[in-house]
Structure 1
Amino acid sequence: MREQLERRAFLILLAAVTIAFGFILEPFWSAIFWACAVSVIFFPMQQLLQRKWGHRPNLNALVTLTVCMLIVVIPVIFISTAFIQEGIQLYQKIDSGDIDPRAMLMKLRDAFPIVDELLVEFGVNPNDIRDQVISAVQGASKFLAKETLTIGQNTFGFLVSLALMMYLTFFLLRDGSHLRDLLIKALPIGDEREHALFEKFVEVTRATVKGNLVVAIVQGALGGFIFWLLDIPAPLLWGVIMAFLSLIPAVGAALVWFPAGLYLYATGAWVSATVLMAYGAIIIGLADNVLRPILVGRDTKLPDYIVLFSTIGGISLFGINGFVIGPLVAALFMAVWQIFMTDFNSGHEES
């Protein structure tokens, strides 16, 4: 009896200490999460160096981390800086009247009068729609300027989080296998189930970041390039927005380049509009269909509707981190239920 009481008391203490430690780490969750994601993605390089150079964990981890910084961290810093500058400049142009959303919508109305006729047929007032669109554009520009200014003002906090992420990544690369074995030993779920869940975590993290993020970067780069080539204002800003929208299935970069093409038609720039429409449909659109199966693999891809809901839900709960966390939680959810059906229901049916 006393042994059971001590065991329960210890389990309560274990849970309380774990929860308290989680609250202590709460300000650093983003840095910890991305350290785990980056270490998972670059761990094969760590293993390659270990096979080539022998057991030199510190040197191998340092070289891997350096490559990660050259490939990922430094380009992201440069792009983020330019994104902030273009976002603030775009808001200033809208606020000063250099860019007039109302005049742009009037040009679209004059170029495509059939749209107003269709809205009237369905009992919708076109003027109300235009007012709502203008308010949304102005609100979005203010929000974008506010967020970019906030990011610029919080540069020190960003650099601290980045340093903590890279610091933790070094130790995860160096000691990743040992830490995984400790977790498998500590968790009372069953070694086979734990191995399966860890494999699913690695699989989905690599597929989401390596696949979806690379596809998004490619689509954003292609979109920004054509905007720059056609002399459309703030090409880097729109490229980053297209990359972000590409993370959301069934939406994509077309939400940016298609309206831009319509506006070019409305302003009489037929050649530029046709080039943009063709480029968007063929080059940007097909980049997803060509690259995603290669980088992700059909076996690791979740159903499109699961990816859609989990991505949007993840972003709404966790911000930008949610585009990885959402599909990861969805994949673990499906993996856990698959284990349950295999290990528990099969035994129940046999009995």
Structure 2
Amino acid sequence: MLRTNISARALSGGLLDVLIRAGLITVLVLFCFQIFHPFLNLMLWALILAITLYPLHALIKRKLVNKDGHAATLIVVVALALLMVPIYLLGTSISESIQGTLAILKSDSLQIPLPSEKIASLPLIGQPLYDYWMQAATNMSSVFMKLMPYIKSIGLTLLGKMADVGVGFLLFIGALIIAGVFMAYGENGERSALAITSRLSGPERGPRITELCTATIRAVAQGVVGIAFIQMLLVGVGFVLMGVPGAGLLAMVALLMGIMQLPVLLVTLPVIAYVFATEGTTLATIVFGIYSLIAGMADNVLKPLMLGRGVDVPMPVILIGALGGMVSGGFIGLFIGPVALAVGYQLFWQWVQDQPSAEGLNETPQIDAVNETPKVEAMNDQRPL
């Protein structure tokens, strides 16, 4: 009885120690996550960029320079120089659009033609639409005063979205610089990733999971984000050279639509129609129309070339990842969402395919044809009853 009480006390004491240690570890993990959480998106984006650009880093190191730090610095400097061009064009376009709109409103040069009498004869909405149109054509100031609260609300929303885009660009630049640091220590990072995955999933599956994650990240980043960025540059250059109003904003819309796997032609076709309607049919507009059509359909040629190099990820997975990332993480989520969901998708199916074979579970004991007894070694152990 005494031994039983001592064993029970020892068991309860050991269980209490385990619970205390587990609680302390949980508190430490939560506290570390709370500290690291403000930098989570930045570090994830930097890791994605580093994994995507590391083959280029290895090529530059092998061909041009012989040091990891110099190769990483060269990639970061060139990438920042290339990023300044769309950022400058976007800022210039937004500034010109705002100034043009304010100038039109101040000069009272906005003239609305009188409505046709046929509009009043339309059923249901004809007469209210005719009255409202007539008021806007004859007394624009009163209509503008009525619409001012809605215009103010829409303007504040647009300003908020533009601020989010600006913050996204700043975070992207910071992530690119941190990615350069990651690439400079790429070999150490690879060994660390192998050690972590091997510790979590075993020494046999660890290298396979590391290779799977790396290939998926590169495939999604190059085949989705890379193609969308290329299309944005092609479309944006054409819009700027043709003098399309809001060229920077339209190029940004083309980038977002490319990441969400929507056809960029939804942006280029209305712009082509607008250019032909305002400029007429000239050699410049014809060349612009052909160029914009080719730029809008460039993803059909680039996707088989770039997506085929990595892991095959279904397009619905990319679309869901982009939409979900946009809702949950804003502009940065558009980049992180497809990559994270694609990695999770591939890991899930790898786990499904690596399940134990069902042949061992369906095996039945072999029956001897003469004695009609199962061939089980344990049954050969003849012990007295």
TM-score category of the 2 structures, normalised to the smaller one: 0.7 to 0.9
Question: Which one-letter code corresponds to 2:94 in the other structure?
Answer: G
**1:280 Cα deviation from its structure 2 partner:** 3.0
Tell me the residue number matched to 1:90: 97
User: Structure 1 residues 63, 127: closer, same or farther in 2, change over 3 A?
Assistant: farther
Q: Where does residue 323 of structure 1 map in the other structure?
A: 334
How far off its partner does 1:203 sit? Answer: 1.6
State yes or no: 1:60 paired with 2:73. Answer: no
Q: Could you give the per-residue CA deviations for residues 220-240 of structure 1, whole angstroms, max 9, x where no partner exists? A: 122122223322234344323
Where does residue 175 of structure 1 map in the other structure?
Answer: 188
After superposition, the Cα gap between the structure-2 partners of 1:155 and 1:180, relative to the gap in structure 1 and judged at 3 Å, is closer
Q: In structure 1, how many angstroms separate the alpha carbons of the residues matched to 2:177 and 2:287?
A: 45
Q: 1:26 to 1:85 in 2, by over 3 A?
A: farther
Q: Given that residues 51 and 217 in structure 2 are in contact (C-alpha distance below 8 angstroms), is that contact kept between their aligned partners in structure 1?
A: yes
Task: Look up the match of 1:113.
Answer: none
Q: Is the counterpart of residue 79 in structure 1 residue 86 in structure 2?
A: yes
Aligned to 2:368: none
Counterpart amino acid of residue 84 in structure 1: G
Shift in CA distance, 83/306, structure 1 to aligned 2, threshold 3 Å: same
Question: Alpha-carbon deviation of 1:62?
Answer: 0.9
- Contact (CA 8 Å) 1:220, 1:253: kept in 2 or not? no
Instruction: Give the equivalent residue in structure 2 for 1:261.
Output: 272
Offset, 1:345: 6.2
RMSD of aligned alpha carbons: 4.4
Alpha-carbon distance in 1 for matches of 2:176, 2:212: 28
Aligned residues: 327
Match of 2:218 among 180, 189, 206: 206
Separation in structure 1 between the aligned mates of residue 254 and residue 173 of structure 2, nearest angstrom? 28
CA distance in 1, matches of 2:171, 2:348: 38
Q: Percent identity?
A: 20
Q: In structure 1, what residue type is equivalent to 2:353?
A: T
Corresponding letter in the other structure for 2:76: M
Q: 1 or 2, which has the higher helix percentage?
A: 1
Letter in 2 for 1:184: T
| TM-score normalised by length of structure 2 | 0.68
Match of 1:240 in 2: 252
CA shift for structure 1 position 313: 0.9
**Higher gyration radius (CA):** 2
Contact 1:50-1:60 at 8 Å conserved across structures: yes
Matched, 1:219 2:231: yes
Offset of residue 311 of structure 1: 0.9
Give the SS at the match of 2:311: coil
Deviations 1:261-305 (A, max 9, x none): 233344462446655443333x11331011122122176242222
- Alpha-carbon distance in structure 1 between the residues aligned to 2:173 and 2:241: 37
Q: Which amino acid aligns with 2:324?
A: G
2:303 to 273, 292, 301: 292
Q: Deviations over 1:310-345 (max 9, x none)?
A: 211112111222233222232233223323322336
Give distance in 1, aligned partners of 2:349 and 2:111.
52
